[in-house]
Structure 1
Amino acid sequence: MIEWKFIGTLAPWKGGIYERLRGIIKNSLVAQLVDEKLVTQSCKHEVEGTINEHCHQAIQGYLATD
């Protein structure tokens, strides 16, 4: 059974990982759009590559399994 733990509306600092991920995606898109025409597939590959370069680790307390 999965127990979901949600971030409270009065505790936005607990969602820092989501903000960081959003920033990575935004910076990748901006960098691609500045110099060349947007090609959907190449843009997708660039964003995927940037995200996959970063270390991913489970955050304790966000997802509890039994």
Structure 2
Amino acid sequence: QANKLREEKKNKATLINRIKLFIAALKDNKDLVSAFSNKLWTALVESVLVNKDGTLKFVCYAGLTNIVHK
């Protein structure tokens, strides 16, 4: 139980750090995002799964999931 709580605390601290980095990156950007930004991608996207049917499943650090169809 204690190990599970420590792991959860560590994961939440990592998420908080990523959100802070994301906010800082947005503040640094004076214009709308009009091109790919490695900083923003790294701060937002945890993983992308390419399925056999050609769909893409984006999983974000904030827990959001989005499936994109071709």
If the length of structure 1 is used for normalisation, what is the TM-score?
0.39
Q: Which has the larger radius of gyration?
A: 1
Structure with the higher fraction of residues in strand conformation: 2
Structure with the higher fraction of residues in helix conformation: 1
Structure having greater relative contact order (Cα 8 Å, sep ≥ 6): 1
If the length of structure 2 is used for normalisation, what is the TM-score?
0.37
